[in-house]
Amino acid sequence: DRIGRRPTLMLGAAFMLVGLVQMMLAHGFFGFALMIALMSISNACLSGTEESMLYDSLCDQNLEHDMVGQSGKLTSARFAAKMFLPLLGSFVARDLLEWQFRMLIGLDIAFALLAILVLSKLKEPSCRTVSVGIRMDIFRQSLRTIRNQPWLLKAMFSKTLVFSAGLLLYRVYQPLLTGYGFPVVAIGLYYVVSRGAMFFSHRQAGAAVRVFGPSRVIMWTAIVGASLVGLVLCLDLPWAVFVVLCLAEVAIGFREPPFSLAIHDRIASCCRATAVSNLNCLKCVVDIP
């Protein structure tokens, strides 16, 4: 919020680049610990900043009412490359050899460089309120905003608690599928199918909210997602588990765009990225166990 949206995004991409280089060079616990620390700093820079920049850019054009649809397209774009690269990666690393993984990390490094180039072309929103206060003033204002808007905490808890079930799926789907006898290539195919479904479904988030309303979309995706997670535990058929896991990830992931407009509409521009990032800290705390 102090240095601007674009510089913060570029800083996050730069830390990601350094983290990927460290991943390439890491050997042993401390090397990988440093890599994770660099990636965490990158995530801290990116968390809340991209959506804040999107909302402020829409405000520039008096289109903030379309935040849900545009946020859906933003989250959809995150899955664009993941529709085909994981399958390619599963072919490249099918023997789980070190040189194969180094090749894949090299591709990540190339994409990080491309991200920095693309981010350098972005235009800072003109409506962003430039704060002349010190960093702690911005931080305190973000905390006051969260305290004065109890709905923000309720919304973030709603997102986080259901997201935790999806995160559990993300952590266990590989050993779960390999336990059912799926080869590495099939796991790559799972990633392609699930991310492809997310890519196309998130682009329809705005239409879904216009038809059903944000509350119904949020409620029913939570019910469906949680029910599918429970169903996974009861199934014995490998391909049924494959399909239900995909559907559960899609349902849980679809909950993110409907929250976007209501959250950003309650936060002042001068501390928007900081406040959203502080709200996202709840997810980090839940991740610890």
Supply the range of the domain harboring residue 166: 5-123+132-284
Is there a domain that residue 273 lies in?
yes
Is there a domain that residue 214 lies in?
yes
Is there a domain that residue 203 lies in?
yes
C-alpha to C-alpha distance for 203 and 183, rounded to whole angstroms: 31
DSSP string, 134-188: -HHHHHHHHHHHHHH-HHHHHHHHHHHHHHHHHHHHHHHHHHHHHHTT--HHHHH
CA triple 196-173-233, angle to 5 deg: 115
Collapsed DSSP state (helix, strand, coil) of residue 129: coil
Is there a domain that residue 169 lies in?
yes
- Among residues 66, 4, 17, 15, which one has the least CA distance to residue 37? 15
C-alpha to C-alpha distance for 264 and 159, rounded to whole angstroms: 15
DSSP class of residue 63 equals -
> Do 68 and 209 touch, CB atoms closer than 8 A?
yes
Is there a domain that residue 289 lies in?
no
| Number of domains comprising the chain | 1
pLDDT digit string (tens) for the chain, length 289 residues:
677 788 888 998 999 999 999 988 888 889 889 998 998 888 888 877 888 888 888 888 888 888 888 888 888 888 887 777 777 777 776 666 777 778 888 888 998 999 899 988 888 877 555 554 556 688 888 888 888 888 888 888 777 776 666 666 656 666 777 777 777 777 778 788 888 888 898 889 888 988 998 889 888 988 888 888 888 778 778 788 888 888 888 888 888 888 877 788 888 877 888 888 888 777 667 666 6
Is there a domain that residue 227 lies in?
yes
Is there a domain that residue 274 lies in?
yes
Is there a domain that residue 56 lies in?
yes
- Among residues 170, 137, 152, 154, which one has the least CA distance to residue 48? 152
* pTM tops 0.75: no
CA distances from 128 to 50, 89, 262, 278, 287 (A): 13, 40, 18, 19, 32
